[in-house]
A and B are shown apart, each in its own frame.
Chain A
Amino acid sequence: MSTTTTTTTTIRPMADIGTMLRRNLRHAQRYPGLSLGALGMPVIMILLFGLVFGDTFSAGLGGGAGGFDYIDFLTPGILLMSIASGTMSPAVAVCMDMSEGIVSRFRTMAIFRPAVLTGHVLGNVIVTIVSLALVVGFAVLIGFRPNASVGDWLLAAVLLIGLTIGLTWFAIALGLTSKTPEGASNVVLPISLLLPFLSNTFIPLEAMPSGIRWFAEYQPFTPIIDSLRHLLLGTPMDSSSGWLAGGWCLAIAVIGYFWAQSSYNKGTVA
């Protein structure tokens, strides 16, 4: 057939990811509920725990006059909480997307195959960066006083964005396994609620009951929060917790990415 030779299949990954990202940002603009929730929740948390419960927690932990500033302790954990709670909206969005015919259409088109999901991930990274900036802003307003060099800030940003990318891929993989958007929002709860609460976000490990303390000690958020505290407060960094934090981010990202891609391609001619 003469026309066969004229069929060119040049896949352009960057262009396709860009197109999908624009689509997701437009969705966020047209249907802002999910993104606004993701932006508002962490701000409420920092105000609630920083202003309302802060003094009591601080007193209970032996702080206050002794120089233990609870807001300094709290902010890094709340930053992780923003990332964690922000994973719900891409999980739900991906699940909703899969039930729509448009994704079937994308799958029959000669486009860069990971672009559809990558667009969701990048969209969420952008929303999360805004959310992190809001949390830092409000934290500073109510007394957070970081003591970090430019290098520390950059490392902290790399760590936060790395975790966002990793957790978002993981949440998207979970969202793809769900049949309904409600199911998707439930299936990410362990990430969005359990990990941030059962960690050293609000209180140090030493103040926890032993069972929960054991869980908190070995789960990924704790070394990441530790590293972030050291970076932002300028205290010397324990190198093992730094490597552990980076390793967790990488592991979560790799597992999440491959799991999500294999779910997306399941049963099709990839």
Chain B
Amino acid sequence: MSAAIDVRGLRKSYGEKLVLDGIDLNVAEGTIFSLLGPNGAGKTTAVHILSTLVAADAGEIRVAGHDLHQSPEAVRAAIGVTGQFSAVDGLMTGRENLILMADLHHLGKQEARRRADELLEQFDLAEAGKKLASTYSGGMKRRLDLAMTLVGRPRIIFLDEPTTGLDPRSRHSMWTLIRELVAGGVTVLLTTQYLEEADQLADRIAVLDHGRLVAQGTAEELKRLAPGGHIRLRFTSPEEFTLAGQVLPTAVPNHEALVLQVPNDGSVHALRDLLARIDDASLEVDELTVHTPDLDDVFFAVTGQPKSEEVSA
């Protein structure tokens, strides 16, 4: 697969403050890539640079195969951006906003109206289409915003915190829309501070902290980075519990609850090993639960460290 976005050594500082400190990114065509990080990590700056809004201080950037410094117009023609702050025109109706975008893409009068109505329908805004965008709720504004981004059928879409401030229902409907986009072959780079969101949507995740990429990989690969993955074994009889403690010497026992915590990365291989040992000793286990670390664990594990770690894919 060829790269939709390829970045090497991206640096940017505002005055004294270093915002991006040598970032490398590679986003394959037709995938969702997530930049994950807390507020102030540099996510929005990265999106601004990749979408030609802000000039980088250093770095080689190719978007849709075009060098961003040499041919920004070619990059602009290939991308669509939905920023963190709603980029709709509040003094125009939803439909007029979409027609404005269509006009800027020179779709022609007929096609502009057809495309606007199609997107209003697709984004569940058909009824609201005649109302001024300033009267829309947060979720509606985001949907209109994304619909406007899609008018020109961009091949690469940047979504800067697309669900920040949305209620759970709007968030889920936004996730569905994003998944549908990628099913249509579009590449998505999305930033988020929600670990769950990156886990749900992204094929690959890069963790950004203080302008540096501290980890990169699939959600699964990142989860394996974090300590704390274990299997929890619960027993009913104290005898079995004691016996199990001897068979599994690395386990951490909880005598009152009759529970053993066995360190385990949760992979099938490690799980099969453990089950084999349980079988061999004919242990009566009442309940077995797998605890894989979630991205929260990963985040705390990797951002606490000054050194960057790369997961080989």
Contact for A9 among B51, B73, B92, CB less than 8 A:
B73
Residues of A within 8 A of B149 (CB): 105
**How many inter-chain contacts with C-beta < 8 Å in the A-B complex?**
94
Q: Does B252 touch A at the CB level, under 8 Å?
A: no
Contact with A along B61-105 (1 / 0, CB 8 A): 000111011011110111111010111111110001000100110
Residues of A within 8 A of B90 (CB): 100
Contact for B76 among A16, A31, A102, A109, CB less than 8 A:
A109
| Number of residues of chain A lying within 8 A (CB) of chain B | 33
Bin chain B's interface residue count. Answer: 35 or more
> Are A108 and B92 in touch, CB under 8 angstroms?
no
Q: Does B218 touch A at the CB level, under 8 Å?
A: no
Considering the chains assembled together, what is the distance between the CA atoms of A30 and B71 in angstroms? 37
Contact with A along B274-304 (1 / 0, CB 8 A): 0000000000000000000000000000000
Return A166 CB to nearest CB of chain B, in Å.
Answer: 27
Taking CB as reference atom, which chain A residue is nearest B132? A30
Q: Does A27 touch B at the CB level, under 8 Å?
A: yes
Residues of A within 8 A of B55 (CB): 267-269
**Which residues of A from 234 to 269 have beta carbons under 8 Å from B?**
267-269
**Which residues of A from 58 to 116 have beta carbons under 8 Å from B?**
100-102, 104-111
Contact for A7 among B53, B64, B145, CB less than 8 A:
B64
Considering the chains assembled together, what is the distance between the CA atoms of A15 and B109 in angstroms? 12
Q: Does A3 touch B at the CB level, under 8 Å?
A: yes
Return B52 CB to nearest CB of chain A, in Å.
Answer: 5
Closest 6 CB pairs of A and B: A101-B87, A4-B65, A110-B77, A105-B87, A110-B76, A19-B103
* Contacts A1-B65, A30-B91, A100-B89 known; 14 new A-B pairs at CB < 8 A: A1-B2, A3-B64, A3-B65, A8-B77, A10-B106, A11-B73, A26-B92, A27-B91, A101-B86, A102-B89, A109-B152, A110-B73, A268-B53, A269-B55
What residues make up the interface of B, taking CB atoms closer than 8 Å to A?
2, 29, 51-55, 64-66, 68-69, 71-74, 76-81, 83, 85-92, 96, 100, 103-104, 106, 132, 145, 148-149, 152, 155
